[in-house]
Amino acid sequence: MGFFRDTWIIDDYVQKNGVKMVAFNDVFPPSYLKYWGKADKTTTACHLLAFHQLDCAAVARALLERGGVLRPRLALASGLDESFVQIMAPFFAGLHDIGKFAVPFQNLRPDVLKLLADRVSVKPYHHRHDVMGVEAWSGFLIDEWLGKGWFDLDGRSLDRDDFGDIIKNWADASGGHHGRPPERPPYSKYLLNEWFEPQDKEALLSYAIDLAGLFSVDAVGFPKIDLYDLRPGFQKSSWTIAGLIVIADWIASNPTYFPHIDQPMFLDEYWGEAKKKAVAAIEQSGLTPSRHSAATGFRSLFPEIGVPSPLQQFASECVLAPGAKLFILEDATGSGKTEASMVLAHRLMAAGEADTIFIGLPTMATANAMYKRLVQCRERLFAPGESPSFVLAHGSRRLHREFQSSILSPIPVPRGEYGSGEETGATQCTAWLADNNKKSLLGSVGVGTVDQAVMGVLPVPHQSMRLLGLCRSVLIVDEVHAYDEYLTRLLEGVIEFQAMMGGTTILLSATLPGRLKIKLVERFDHGAGEILSARSPDSSYPLATVAVRGGVSESPLAVRAGVSKTVRVDLTARVEDAVEGLANTALAGGCACWVRNTVDDALEAYAQLSGLVGPDKLTLFHARMAMGDRLEVESEALSVFGPDGGPEERNGRILVATQVVEQSLDLDFDFMVSDLCPADLIIQRAGRLHRHGRPGRPVSDPRIVILGPLPADDPPADWYSAFFPGGAWVYRIHRRLWLTARWLAEHQRLAIPGDGRRLV
């Protein structure tokens, strides 16, 4: 029947084997070594449950030891000492799979159950092991924990029930190791005795006691503070603890790092081996922070740029107060906000305030462009000899050739299932490694669409893992004005979380409305635990705003040389005027762009221009293209209309596009037509006119034609929708469009950046 049929009294075992006994049970092997945690799909080979849980604990411990800011972030959020976090977080990770002690789970492999424990069961597996595990916590494990006196409450003002409720926050986080909180049915507590037979409970409790002894949990004790103060800290830190255990379980489930062992050994002996394997595993997985370069400041990151802008100079010299911070950098398009944000992020990493960077952008096109722009910069962020991970994160990153070519050969991970449709940790990890979007916030530098970050505050699988990545990162969000109300609300939640964890968020915008700015600062204050009196933001522009715990400072800045320009604005309701302006610019040897508000309108414009401009001179770019075609057109647009496009490439070229070109893409046109849209987007689109100094430019003065209904004094209800039936659904607040049209009609010019505040 195998090794486990025999048990030996400790004294006999010591006499026969001449070893020092360090396990805490009376017999060896203890009962908990008769349970499997991972099983081979085709044989009875398995990995013992206690060993897998120790693997997970060892990875969590290694991540905290070598994870840079992770441990202090968790200590800050929980209100606990770092030394306490270093012990207790791995301890909870070592209990993440206690639901597998339930006989219905063990009976997923009756052959292994029979071999290990000489048991036969007919109990079906109707509920996931994580559900059974969290019910075991509340049903009997916490009571046993307190009953053993592991934590002396020392007569303080908290009864055992309240204490159990506090601990339960991390217990639930431990149970959510498959990427989401377990959904416990309302009747689950009545099933405990069905799930856990007496011998299963005994084995679980025996394992928990030995694990506590292994970690010296009974010698740690809680900090000498009012235990009621622990409740909000355990709640706040529970999502990050969940993320830590999710990652630890993913790595621990990889048999390449942790080969299956089905022969018993003492826990301390296995623990020593598991710790060594865990260190190697996280290093090979790329989860240890790369050392940053010693030199900071603008010139160390961007030596190719001769003179920094005032905003970039501010980023190089401003005081970095310790703790949570929110930077809001407002400056005109083309002023170098991205470079300024990278300088700030690098300084924060050098100060030990962050390990990684994630940059969120509004579209896949802007994320692709940013990824390409940062290739050289990201190498200067880190010390020579380091191998930082550089991740592109959006739904179609698999089609990005440069990103795909940078991916190292993955370590193969077997796929398999326990049965009943339940995935193993390795199966989930394989899917996660293939879908790097989930891992994007764990990379040294991540660039992606902003939804990859805000999913951390949504009830989606693995959101806790995203939050863990966020708390280690400087989060940079570009074009923060560009998001709709729903996404903006989610971004506010992310800012609040970052502040709560002591992290930093940097927001970039050329056209940030004052009311939105106030709201963003308020959410930061709430996360940082501050309540500040309402105040009106400074109306200066450009402007750098810094919010820290206890105050907000605003620094007016000068305009970058060469950025200021005055754009002539003409309004027309005649499509013929728009087409004529585009054709004349092309005939004069210039390049032009028509930005349309819908794809259907873009297709119509392309058809109208096809008869006037040769097919080799006309390009169509919109978001509904097949992704492969879209990436090719995006690359072509950047090569022709970007900073490296020369007079020969630009001569006579016209780009018809939707909103994909209006933000974060470094494009430069001589003339533009734009459908009437909100004021902030008019500014963004106009910012693509005469963006770079070009000697001999065929069109000397920047000009934009706004196509749309003219601003009548008493407009009808369908004033906008009659002209743009599709666009009316894209931009639904038509009174703002009317105000924009009236302002532009009155001024007939747009001074950048001077008119930005007034127009927005």
pLDDT in tens, 451-500: 989 998 888 888 898 999 999 999 999 988 878 889 999 999 999 999 99
Peptide bond into 753 cis (omega under 30): yes
Mean pLDDT of the region 390-416: 59
Query: Are 177 and 123 within 8 A, CB to CB?
Result: no
Residue 398 has a pLDDT of 63
Element (H, E) at 634: helix 627-641
Instruction: State how far the Cα of 129 lies from the Cα of 182, in Å rounded to an integer.
Output: 9
Band of pLDDT at residue 229, cut at 50, 70 and 90: low
**Total count of residues recorded for the chain:** 760
Element (H, E) at 719: none
Query: Are 446 and 358 within 8 A, CB to CB?
Result: yes
Q: Over the stretch 522-544, which tens digit does the pLDDT of each residue have?
A: 999 999 987 665 567 778 889 99
Residue 461, Cβ neighbours under 10 Å: how many?
A: 14
Q: Which residue has the higher pLDDT, 402 or 339?
A: 339
Contacts of 606 (CB under 8 A, 6+ apart): 618, 620, 656
Instruction: State how far the Cα of 21 lies from the Cα of 706, in Å rounded to an integer.
Output: 84
Least confident range of 164-168, 265-269, 746-750: 164-168
Instruction: State how far the Cα of 726 lies from the Cα of 720, in Å rounded to an integer.
Output: 10
Helices (H), 176-229: 192-195, 198-215
Residue 334 has a pLDDT of 78
φ and ψ at residue 135, rounded to 5 degrees: -70, -35
Q: With the C-alpha atoms ordered 398, 399, 404, 410, is the resulting torsion angle positive or negative?
A: positive
Q: SS3 of 575, please?
A: helix
Q: Over the stretch 102-145, which tens digit does the pLDDT of each residue have?
A: 999 999 999 999 999 999 998 998 888 999 998 898 888 877 76
Beta strands 46-48 and 36-39: pairing type? antiparallel
Least confident range of 67-81, 239-253, 379-393: 379-393
